[in-house]
Amino acid sequence: MVEVEAIDAQGKRVAATLSESVLPIGVVLAETEEVGMYLDNWGAQAKTKITGTPMNFYLWLMMQIGDGLDEIT
């Protein structure tokens, strides 16, 4: 597992735990001030617990990448 942490463009903390064993997106945990996503189980009986207002994961991921690229330029 890999733990990552970042600060978004608004100065808010973003933390995630990733694992290649959890397909298809590898997210075990993702937290911001507004929302938390926690993997309870995976495989045939997979369940997740999402707190806050859910957002399409790929949209959120692209927004994080875009914010990161803005900091580079």
Quote the pLDDT of residue 66: 85
User: How does pLDDT run across 48-57, given as a tens digit for each residue?
Assistant: 666 777 778 8
- Residue 32's alpha-carbon distances to 12, 37, 38, 45, 46, in angstroms, are 7, 9, 12, 26, 23
**Maximum CA pair distance of the chain?**
43
Sheet hosting strand 27-31, strand order edge to edge: 2-7, 13-18, 27-31, 36-41, 47-51
- pTM, full prediction: 0.54
pLDDT (tens digit per residue) in 21-46:
777 778 888 898 888 888 877 677 76
The total domain count for the chain is 1
Measured in whole angstroms, the distance separating CA 73 from the mean position of its chain's CA atoms is: 23
Which pLDDT band, with edges at 50, 70 and 90, does 15 fall under?
Answer: very high
For residue 53, the enclosing domain spans 2-72
